[in-house]
Structure 1
Amino acid sequence: MTDKEMILDFLKKNNGVIETKQFAERGIDNKVFRRLALEGKIERISKGIYIDAEQMVDDYFIMQYRCKKGIFSHETALFIHDLCDRSPLKLMMTIPTGYNTRLLKLNDHYQFFYMKKEFHEIGKMNVLSPYGHTIAVYDKERTICDCLKKKDKLDNDIVLTAVREYMRDPERDFIKLQSYADIFKISSLVHQYMEVLA
């Protein structure tokens, strides 16, 4: 198997994403990746990361790939859970306090929220992105709590619509919502919204 064939074979097995560092250890030169890119077989999306040129670009998966500890949250999580129908202008993620990612500099595309490590994974679940890749997102109850807590930094109409949609959702879990509200010390705020929109 040639170096090119090995890379393309790995690409198929790895959801259409490849990192050059995975092949540097095997002695495969970056020139092979550049040649494949020139041939239109792969596409460079950031330093050392290429995707299958024939696949649709999955921004959710790429962001998750580049920020492995990030969990999709706030308006992005609302969209993933069908609690709002407006596609997010920026992809929003929550990362543990102190975690650093190069994506922080790209603040016209991404918005990050910090959370203490002990609370970071509460409500985390895996779902499929619109393109069929596995991504991490907060569940609906955690997302509602996060949006109410940060409502001043979000689009108020989106938050109100999302809470209304959640109230109508037959799969809503008020007990879980209440337990998260207690953890994040926003019980009265959650009650207030639930009463007004009930």
Structure 2
Amino acid sequence: MRQIIYDKVRNISEKYKGYIDTEDLMKEGLTNRQIGLLTAEEKLEKIAHGHYWVNSDAYGKPEDYKAVEVARVNENAVICADSACYYMGLIDVEPQVLSIATKRSDRHKMKMNFDVCRHYFSEKAFEEDQKVFNTEYGSYKVYDIDRSVCDCVRFKNDIPKEIFDLIIEKYKKYDKRSTERLMAYAKAMRISRQVEQIGLE
């Protein structure tokens, strides 16, 4: 491939901060064939259908790249459960599988380059207590800690035991926890008994 194409890719990277969609790649003058060749040469990384990361020696992906990339593929998705506990700072061990929530009516395909555990929420439950993280690479949404701990209890079978135990241990010592909010979520999710048995009430 001609050097002019590589120079164009470098300029695209600087302009789009690393992440770019197929539509914008083509607006910048690249063809589908060139995109395919650049991907094969690992100049471009396909993060999902229609979405790319431009590889460069000058920089690497952001630390929270999984959350950023999920939001680029589906801007309505919300980081939930154990992953939300990590992004909100309750635990410092990142779960290997990213837990995300979408509305039951959401039909976006979420095939990523990393493992994702997708949970479908009702309209009302989906909208409650989302925090927005704004970064130079884009924004993403995360549920708050009290709600996320309840989600962990609810989805316990989908979470590694060591991560679940760590979340419970850290939450019991969490100085900003709200037992009232926790139990309100637990009641709404119909898991009050499980929460009480764990000793979080």
Bin of the TM-score, shorter chain as denominator length: 0.7 to 0.9
CA–CA distance in 2 between the matches of 1:142 and 1:10? 40
CA deviations on 1:64-85 (whole Å, 9 max, x unpaired) are 2113221111222222233334
* 1:78 matches 2:78: no
Change (3 A) 1:8 1:173: farther
* Segment drifting more, 35-44 vs 74-83: 35-44
Aligned residues: 193
Aligned to 2:125: 119
The answer as to whether partners of 1:15 and 1:133 remain within 8 angstroms in 2 is: no
Give 2:18's match in structure 1, choosing from 16, 19, 30.
Answer: 16
Partner SS, residue 18 of structure 1: strand
The answer as to whether partners of 2:44 and 2:52 remain within 8 angstroms in 1 is: yes
Change (3 A) 1:135 1:149: same
The answer as to whether partners of 1:71 and 1:124 remain within 8 angstroms in 2 is: yes
Partner SS, residue 199 of structure 2: helix
Change (3 A) 1:39 1:112: closer
Q: Percent identity?
A: 20
Change (3 A) 1:28 1:194: same
Give 2:103's match in structure 1, choosing from 87, 91, 96.
Answer: 96
Give 2:76's match in structure 1, choosing from 69, 76, 90.
Answer: 69
Q: Where do 5+ consecutive residues of structure 1 fail to align?
A: none
Q: Please give the root-mean-square deviation of Cα atoms over the aligned residues, in Å.
A: 3.5
CA deviations on 1:126-174 (whole Å, 9 max, x unpaired) are 2368x97532111101110101112233223322321221121222222
The amino acid of 1:175's aligned partner reads E
CA–CA distance in 2 between the matches of 1:151 and 1:14? 39
Change (3 A) 1:175 1:37: same
Please give the TM-score of this superposition, normalised by the length of structure 1. Answer: 0.75
Aligned to 1:142: 147
CA deviations on 1:12-43 (whole Å, 9 max, x unpaired) are 45442111224557876335545766887544
The answer as to whether partners of 1:4 and 1:32 remain within 8 angstroms in 2 is: no
